[in-house]
Chain A
Amino acid sequence: MIADLELDCRGLRCPLPVIELGKRYADVPVGGVVAVLADDVAARTDIPAWCRMRGQEYAGEDPAGRYLVRRLS
């Protein structure tokens, strides 16, 4: 999957990667994909939870270990 935007959140502790995602996801068009690169362990749970709470789609992890989010609205 080709990402329209990559957020490099390595070194950022929770909740900063999710805050970054919340601020930036609208930079991609509806249907576009944001890839979040994060090494904080909470991201694995919190990014899918963010998608559920905000009505966006969690598209899993790519081979590079990035969390993929598809903008639905």
Chain B
Amino acid sequence: MSSADPSRLPGRPVYLDAASSEPLHPAARDTLLAALERGYADPRRLHGPGRDARLLLDNARAVVAECLGVRPDEVTFTSSGTEAVHRGLLGLRRGASSANGPAGEARIGYAAVEHSAVVHAARWGGPAPLEAPVDRLGRVDPDAFAGADVVALQSANHEVGTLQPVDDVAPGVPLFVDACASMGRLPLPDRWDAAAGSAHKWGGPAGIGILLVRKGTRWLNPFPGDDRVDERAGGFENVPAALAAAAALQAVVGERAELNARHHALVDRIRATAAAIPDVEVVGDPVDRLPHLVTFSCLYVDGEALVTELDRRGYGAASGSACTASTLTPSRVLEAMGVLTHGNLRVSLTRATTEEDVDGFLAALPHVVRDIRAEAGL
């Protein structure tokens, strides 16, 4: 059956980690299989198969533009969300530096809770960036970017879900918006000069990012050019995946009014049940947030033990605790918010998550927390 969701097969754990990657949307699967047959050639060539590939790529661009409310010539397909972040932010910095002239290279300001892709890009050459602090909910004060020549601000936080006041960033400053956590689920903010999205976060295939550069923006390619169909891109276009990403985006945008309301209500239940466990702090904005995501921290609980024990009981969720990270350092997001970093769990719902899944998870959670604490002698 073509619409089988890989996360719903019998015997698989209940997957509660959509914020890391949403399972492939059935619309994307069908489109991908069809496009693999027709989208193999170089879209720059004038022969029939080349024209076919070009048609699919242009179609993908037009669909993405329509779903996001932008112009088709503002859309670039990249090889990942990270690449879209790097090109978007560093291209704005290069454009602003060139405008600065002898005044020197442009300085980036970013919120302390940005995704590591933004932070690594901001620290890649150029003057030392400005890191703007956030409040306990993880929200930045837009005035804290004063002094920056280019600002990077996420649409929503990928770990705690808090929406950021993107439209309140001072006008006139080139603004890069990392929209990876929200693209497809929520409309783009009004204010952006360049922006990035990641298809596998909305149910498209991995390996496709979306870079948006607004018409008329002073953006200069920060990397070597590549003479492709789109001057902002590098490398041979993954045409079938771009079309599948567009199909998934179109489907998700069509479903989101109903799905977001359902997710919002389920997340409210998770927030309430987690908060009722002693010494558990639910973090992030309770209302002004992504619909499908919630994060909480459990005092005296080892994050790795929490994830492992929930997985054993059939629930797959993520953690921002140091012991679960490749770097063995705690989540920068939780640190910047000043909230407990250990015993952390991020639960994020997919379009296929049912009320029964959430019921089962919520029935297991208090026992898991209690058992881990008991083992620590508390």
Contact with B along A32-73 (1 / 0, CB 8 A): 000000001110111011100110000000000000000000
Chain A interface: which of B34-42, B100-108, B204-212, B321-329?
A: B321-329
Most A CB within 10 A of own CB, among B302, B322, B334, B338: B322
* Inter-chain contacts of A49 with B (CB < 8 A): 281, 297, 338-341
The reply to whether A46 and B378 contact each other, CB–CB distance below 8 Å, is no
If A15-B300, A18-B300 touch, does A50 touch B329 (CB 8 Å cutoff)? no
When distances are taken between beta carbons in the complex, the residues of chain B under 8 Å from A23 are: 377-378
Q: Give the size range of A's interface with the partner.
A: 10 to 19
Contact: A46 with B340, CB < 8 Å?
Answer: yes
Cβ of A22 and Cβ of B299 under 8 Å apart?
yes
- Let me know if B342 and A15 touch, CB within 8 A: yes
Q: Pick the contact of B322: A14, A50, A54 (CB < 8 A).
A: A14
**Chain B contact residues, majority secondary structure:** loop
Report if B133 contacts A (CB, 8 A). Answer: no
> Would A45 and B334 be within 8 Å (CB), given that A14-B341, A15-B343 are in contact?
yes
Closest Cβ–Cβ distance, residue B91 to chain A (whole Å):
34
Main secondary structure of the interface of A (DSSP, over half): helix
Alpha-carbon distance between A42 and B339 when the two chains are bound, in angstroms = 11
User: B5 contacts the other chain (Cβ, under 8 Å)?
Assistant: no
A19 within 8 A of B: yes
Q: Report A59 CB to chain B, min CB distance, Å.
A: 16
Flag if B378 contacts A15 (CB, 8 Å).
no
Alpha-carbon gap, A34 to B206, bound state (A): 49
Contact B377 A42 (CB under 8 A): no
Contact (Cβ within 8 A) A41 B323:
no
Q: A29 to B334, alpha carbons, bound, how many Å?
A: 32
* CB of A45 to closest CB in B, whole Å: 5
Name which of A13, A14, A53 has the most chain B CB atoms within 10 A of its CB: A14
- When distances are taken between beta carbons in the complex, the residues of chain A under 8 Å from B329 are 41
Known: A22-B300, A23-B378. A53 touches B343 (CB 8 A): no
For residue A47, which residue of chain B has the nearest CB? B340
A42 & B299 in contact (Cβ 8 Å cutoff): no
7 closest Cβ pairs, A-B complex: A15-B342, A49-B340, A14-B342, A42-B330, A45-B335, A42-B341, A42-B322
Q: Could you list 23 A-B pairs, sorted by A, with CB under 8 Å?
A: A14-B321, A14-B322, A14-B330, A15-B301, A15-B302, A15-B376, A18-B300, A19-B376, A19-B377, A23-B377, A23-B378, A41-B330, A42-B330, A45-B335, A45-B339, A45-B341, A46-B330, A46-B341, A49-B297, A49-B340, A49-B341, A53-B279, A54-B279
Chain B residues with CB under 8 Å of chain A are: 279, 281, 297, 299-302, 321-323, 329-330, 334-335, 338-343, 376-378
Contacts A14-B323, A23-B377 known; list 20 others, CB within 8 Å: A14-B322, A14-B330, A15-B300, A15-B301, A15-B302, A18-B299, A19-B378, A22-B299, A22-B300, A41-B322, A41-B329, A42-B322, A46-B330, A46-B340, A48-B338, A49-B297, A49-B341, A50-B340, A54-B279, A54-B299
